[in-house]
Amino acid sequence: MTGSDIHSLKPAAEPDPSPQADPITLPPPLVVILGPTAIGKTALAIPVAQVFEAEIISADSRQIYTGMDIGTAKPTPAERAIVPHHLLDVITPDETFTLAQYQRAAYDAIELLHARGRLPLMVGGTGQYLTAVLEGWGIPEVPPNPDLRAELEAFALEHGARALHDRLREYDPAAAERIDHRNVRRVVRALEVCLETGTPISVLQRKQQPPYRVLQFGLTMPREDLYARADARIDRMVQAGLLDEVRGLLAAGYSWDSPAMSGLGYAQWKPYMEGTATLEEVIAAIRHDTRAYIRRQYTWFKGHDTGIYWLDVREIMPDSIIAWIQNWLG
């Protein structure tokens, strides 16, 4: 991210304190610390959480896997002992965890903390996770029906993609309007949901704003500085035993086809394990793919910036955010 990139994001400005006039009417609070990988979200979140006796809800799609600690930069046991964390180590590397499952689990965790009088602090960089929760995405929880999908795909092959799209238009005109007829996979999914539930997918996908008042902090820094920081973190991961972690996962029976093994920091080791790449080449690949991931994260955040206060981590200190939250909470 260049210096001009930072200024293109929403500038840090104090939130309007006026809603604090009648605390009884205020919805329960949710504080969010988001940003790209390697920006330092955990390092900032821990001292903030300690002050408010908050608990952290992870919004990281890789830290949900057990046994994958180094390559995902998961909070350490010491950090987790200081501040309770939620939605870490949820599933094994060969399991899947849908966006709908994450959204439901996050809402459950938020409600649990509110019931206990704790401040939920959502921390992470997985844009879909964050946006699904904060915008209240409607996500149809309809498991795949292989037989129905095969039937619909066969229909498209025989009669053409537009004919399948015409079937969707009969059931769900709104979905047909926004799905290109050439995207057969999405057309099939929309029809599958409609036929399985009896309800158009466009209805099931309607957003419902969650009942929280939200304060979002976005952490950033110039792009080249962040790349250097990410490179240094990758070096630390390798020194901490990332290769042994990958070997341990394979020895435990997880294959390269396992959902988690396709993730950043793990998939790049496959050529090395097969004897077709050197250690240096693996590290270079992880660095390259990490930079690409950072670019995608920023693209997502810019496209879904609903009141994020962007802060340059070179200039912000935990005390500043703590004071900001105290003022916001009232």
How many Å apart are CA 326 and CA 330, to the nearest integer?
Answer: 6
**Residue in this structure with the two tokens 């844009």, named with its chain if needed:** 127
Render pLDDT for 183-194 as a digit per residue (tens, 0 to 9).
999 999 999 999
Render pLDDT for 24-64 as a digit per residue (tens, 0 to 9).
688 999 999 999 999 999 999 999 999 999 999 999 999 99
Cβ atoms of residues 328 and 215 within 8 Å: yes
Residue 114: name the closest of 27, 41, 47 by CA. Answer: 27
- Domain 146-204 top-level CATH class: mainly alpha
Fold: same for 3-17+39-137+217-329 and 146-204: no
Left, alpha or beta for 275 (phi > 0: left; psi -120 to 50: alpha)? left
211 pLDDT above the threshold of 90: yes
Residue 7: name the closest of 215, 300, 223 by CA. Answer: 223
Rounded to an integer, the average pLDDT of 172-183 is 93
302 pLDDT above the threshold of 60: yes
Q: What is the CATH T-level fold of the domain 3-17+39-137+217-329, as seen in this structure?
A: Rossmann fold (3.40.50)
Residue 65: per-residue pLDDT? 98
Where in the chain are the domains?
3-17+39-137+217-329, 146-204
Percent of the chain with pLDDT strictly greater than 70: 93
